[in-house]
């Protein structure tokens, strides 16, 4: 392994010991009321050697909840629960930011108690998970101007709670078919007001959310995640290049902590253009196959993306299966593989907190011998 991803870095208002980022991973391990569980305290603390942990998508209000057992950050109990997590990570020398995720149309009344809100009254064209199992996605209610103002304010309030809970900052989730990307995409935004139409109008909601969060906690504590061209959750952006050129240009000089691009190596030309536009820290999340993870945890692809201009590299499954991923990569040690994709979302410790570190594996080997 080269030393490039092990070198220290500064991002926004905080320093990192290395350039390997634990990507946000929704794993449905929170309690039913959105309070982080004991499982989550251990999970994140075990991975504190990451240069930065981006905690999983966390809802800024009740209506924004996507799936069952997703954490929130809009009640006192949720804030206190996250404080337990950040205290445990900090005790092991780690740093965390919290991803703020509003699901928009990707929710269900049986889960959140609310009819989902979205840019337009267009249902997700697939089932959604609910406490009783998969159900057809409901038609969301088109957001009014007041809904938009309230939602922007909820993001800002959630960011303040996150910092109060001990996070270094927050990441606004504008990717993977969640609410912000629903405003960006042609097929989910049919509005005729100031938030719909061409790219310059469709980026308006995302810009307002990011700037409200930055005003609440400081731009140096605020990041943004985007996923240009990714079709997760029924997305079809239409004019991807125009959307993201406009969005990144608009925010380029706001002094944000970072821009996080999902699957940044899927479209090298667009990535290179956004890198030229963005003057600050850029996190790249590469496309990884199971074979990539098995070979080196995604290291080689990460290093290529780093050479292409990403300052930091975000890895997901590598950190899920290897609590001590940084140490394993530094030592050139073999990696654990994700055993069963289904176990990622089933609740409980299995497939979540039962992946051994190198030290634990060595002890098990000696005991077996």
Question: What are residue 224's phi and psi, to 5 degrees?
Answer: -135, 135
**How large is the average pLDDT for residues 21-33?**
96
How many CB atoms are closer than 10 A to CB 270?
17
Name the residue range of residue 85's domain: 4-368
The pTM of this model reads 0.96
Residue 206 CA, distance from chain mean position: 15
Q: Which pLDDT does position 1 carry in this prediction?
A: 43
User: What rounded mean pLDDT belongs to the chain?
Assistant: 94
The number of domains in the chain is 1
Mind spelling out the 3-state secondary structure of 248-262? HHHHCCCCCCEEEEE
- How are beta strands 141-142 and 52-58 bridged, if at all? unpaired
Query: Which residue, among 334, 336, 332, has the nearest Cα to 3 in the 3D structure?
Result: 332
Is the pLDDT at 366 greater than 50? The verdict is no
**In this structure, what CATH number is given to the domain that contains residue 88?**
3.20.20.70
**Residue 270 Cα distances to 174, 244, 257, 329, 330, angstroms:** 17, 9, 21, 29, 31
Residue 2 pLDDT level (bands cut at 50, 70, 90):
low
Q: How far apart are CA 35 and CA 75, in angstroms?
A: 9
Q: How far apart are CA 326 and CA 53, in angstroms?
A: 12
Taking a C-beta distance cutoff of 8 angstroms, is the pair 85, 96 a contact? yes
Q: Which pLDDT does position 343 carry in this prediction?
A: 74
pLDDT, tens digit, 9 for 90 and up, residues 233-291: 999 999 999 999 999 999 999 999 999 999 989 999 999 999 999 999 999 999 888 78
Q: Which pLDDT does position 364 carry in this prediction?
A: 53
Lookup: tokens for 298: 């995604």
**How large is the average pLDDT for residues 147-152?**
98
Query: Which residue, among 314, 298, 187, 167, has the nearest Cα to 240 in the 3D structure?
Result: 187
**CA-angle at 308, arms to 243 and 322, nearest 5°:** 100
């Amino acid at each position: 392994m080269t030393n490039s991803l092990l070198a220290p870095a500064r991002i926004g208002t905080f320093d990192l010991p290395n350039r390997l980022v634990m990507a946000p991973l929704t794993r449905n391990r929170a309690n039913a009321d959105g309070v982080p569980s004991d499982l989550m305290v251990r999970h994140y603390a075990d991975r504190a050697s990451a240069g930065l942990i981006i905690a999983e998508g966390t809802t800024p209000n009740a209506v924004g909840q996507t799936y069952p057992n997703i954490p929130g950050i809009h009640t006192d109990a949720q804030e206190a629960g996250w404080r337990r997590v950040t205290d445990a990570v900090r005790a092991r020398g780690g740093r965390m930011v919290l991803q703020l995720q509003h699901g928009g149309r990707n929710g269900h009344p049986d889960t959140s108690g609310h009819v989902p809100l979205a840019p337009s009254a267009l249902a997700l064209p697939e089932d959604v998970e609910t406490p009783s199992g998969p159900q057809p996605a409901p038609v969301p209610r088109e957001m009014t101007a007041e809904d938009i103002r309230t939602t922007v304010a909820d993001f800002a309030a959630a960011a303040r709670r996150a910092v109060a809970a001990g996070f270094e900052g927050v990441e606004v989730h504008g990717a993977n078919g969640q609410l912000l990307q629903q405003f960006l995409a042609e097929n989910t935004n049919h509005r005729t007001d100031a938030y719909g139409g061409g790219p310059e109008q469709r980026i308006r909601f995302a810009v307002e959310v990011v700037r409200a969060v930055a005003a609440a906690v400081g731009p140096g504590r605020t990041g943004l995640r985007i996923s240009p061209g990714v079709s997760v959750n029924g997305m079809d952006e239409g004019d991807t290049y125009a959307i993201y050129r406009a969005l990144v240009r608009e925010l380029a000089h706001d002094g944000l902590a970072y821009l996080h691009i999902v699957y940044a190596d899927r479209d090298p030309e667009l990535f290179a253009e956004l890198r030229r536009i963005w003057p600050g820290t850029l996190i790249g999340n590469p496309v990884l196959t199971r074979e990539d993870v098995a070979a080196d945890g995604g290291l080689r692809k990460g290093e290529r993306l780093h050479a292409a201009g990403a300052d930091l590299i975000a890895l997901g499954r590598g950190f899920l299966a290897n609590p001590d991923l940084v140490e394993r990569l530094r030592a050139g040690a073999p990696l654990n593989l994700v055993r069963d994709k289904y176990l990622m979302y089933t609740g409980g410790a299995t497939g979540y907190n039962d992946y051994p570190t190198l030290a634990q594996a060595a002890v098990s080997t000696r005991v077996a011998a």
